[in-house]
Structure formats: structure tokens, C-alpha cells
Amino acid sequence: MTEFHALVPAAGFGARMGGELPKQYLPLVGKPMLWHTLSALCACPEIATVFVVLSPGDVQFHSYDWSAFGDKLQPLYCGGETRAESVANGLLASELEPDDWVLVHDAARPCITQAQLAKLIDELRDDPVGGILAVPVADTIKRADATQRIECTEPRERLWQAQTPQMFRAGLLARALCSNSGVTDEAGAIEALGLQPKLVAGDSGNFKVTYPQDVQLAELLLQKRRA
């Protein structure tokens, strides 16, 4: 039977965030960011296993109590130099069946909701290619020249911002990442095979915590949900 699994790349350092602690361990409402991300994925009834890909030199993960997630949570200490490498290494180590679905989700998107996960799975479970959560671009888009002056206004029709989870069959995704490791998301590797992943409309609440100013917004959202 085809199963659904999640794979969370969490082997980055968070250079844009700055600071000593890798950003996936920054405290949000009393728990590390990674806890909120893994908690959402482990709470999704369709998802059988949640693999978290850690840096081989990770010293933080074991200092927290993950027992609430039981066997559903599987740490893999095989992160690579880039996000794509971490995902490819994690896929290999997970030993999933080629037909299993895998939802690759950034550790740095702790505000993912059950509704967003359910919508992604429902819209893609019978899809031949797979797809991603994404949001239509809302702002007017400007292209800059080398001096940071506006060169032109880009039409925003049909432009979307890619989010995660990105959901593909494990076999197809492993093949795609093997032949295209220079991509910034899984969909990019699938596109390079000439396939067209589906865009599933999410919302801006599932943003990626990247800069220091994003931390407070994530805390507010998580706190509001808990209340």
C-alpha cells in the first residue's frame, strides 16, 4: 500500500538569522522551532513516519525530549552541504518504497497547519507528478539594476511563491535530485526532468523563518493558535 511520509531538512545553520544557535533550535513559545515543525507533521494522521535530517555534527537534537512523538519520529544524521544534498541523503537513508509519497518540509516553517497539510495531500494523492504548497504573488514586483534602481516592473500574473511541503513519489524525487543537485527546491529538480508539479494554494501563514524579524511573527501565530 502506498504510504505518506515526511522528510524535514534541518541541517542548515541559519546564516541570514545570525547568532550562535542554528535557527531550527531558536526558542518559540518555550520550545525549539524544530519541535513545532515536527509536532505538526507527527499530528497529521495520514503521515506514517517523519524523518528529520540533521547535520552529522548536530549536538542540540539529543538535548531535547522528543518522546512525545514516539517511533513516528526518525532522526537521520546525514545532512549535507546544501539543502538539496540533505534531502537526497535523507531520502537514501529513509529506505522508502519508490511509490511512497514523501512530503519534504523545511524545519524553518514551524507555522504549517493541519488544514494546509490535509489540502496538499488531498489535492495530490492521485496526481501523476506531485506538487507543492504555494501562494500567488500579492505585491507588485520590481527588477533592480546593478545600482539598486528599478529597471522594470515585472508582470505578476501567474507568479507564485513556492513553499513547502513539496510532495513527490520517493523514487521520482531521488532520481530527480540525483541528476539535478543545483536546485533550491524539490520542484526545481522535478521540473528539470520536464515534468510540471501542481501548485496547491496555501497561505502566507506558512512563511519561512529566515531573518531575526520573522521570529516574533512566528511566535505570535503559534501563541494565537495555542490560545
Nearer CB in complex with ligand CTP: 49/166: 166
Candidates 14-22, 131-139, 185-193, 194-202: pick the segment binding ligand CTP (CB under 6 A): 14-22
Task: Supply the minimum distance, in Å, between the C-beta of residue 61 and ligand CTP.
Answer: 12
Candidates 7-15, 60-68, 172-180, 187-195: pick the segment binding ligand CTP (CB under 6 A): 7-15
Q: Does 10 bind ligand CTP (CB under 6 A)?
A: yes
- Using CB under 6 A, which residues numbered 99 to 138 contact ligand CTP? 106-108
Burial of 19 (0-12, 13-18, 19+ CB in 10 A): exposed
- Using CB under 6 A, which residues numbered 160 to 189 contact ligand CTP? none
DSSP letter for 155, please. Answer: P
Judged by CB under 6 A, which of 16, 62, 142, 225 binds ligand CTP?
Answer: 16
Q: How far is the CA of 167 from the CAs of 38, 101, 141, in angstroms?
A: 16, 7, 28
What is the phi/psi pair of residue 28, to 5°? -130, 120
- Using CB under 6 A, which residues numbered 46 to 65 contact ligand CTP? 53
Q: State the DSSP string of 13-27.
A: --TTT-SSS-GGGSE
Cβ-closest position to ligand CTP: 12
Q: Which of 35, 49, 58 is CA-nearest to residue 6?
A: 49
Candidates 8-16, 119-127, 153-161, 175-183: pick the segment binding ligand CTP (CB under 6 A): 8-16
Rounded Cα gap, residues 105 and 186, in angstroms: 10
Q: Does 40 bind ligand CTP (CB under 6 A)?
A: no
Rounded Cα gap, residues 24 and 226, in angstroms: 20
Q: Which x/- pattern over 65-104 shows residues binding ligand CTP (rule: CB under 6 A)?
A: --------------xxxxx--x------------------
Angle 86-90-93 (CA atoms, 0-180°, nearest 5)?
145
Rounded Cα gap, residues 116 and 167, in angstroms: 13
Q: Does 210 bind ligand CTP (CB under 6 A)?
A: yes
| Chain residues in the site for ligand CTP (CB under 6 A) | 9-17, 23-24, 53, 79-83, 86, 106-108, 208, 210
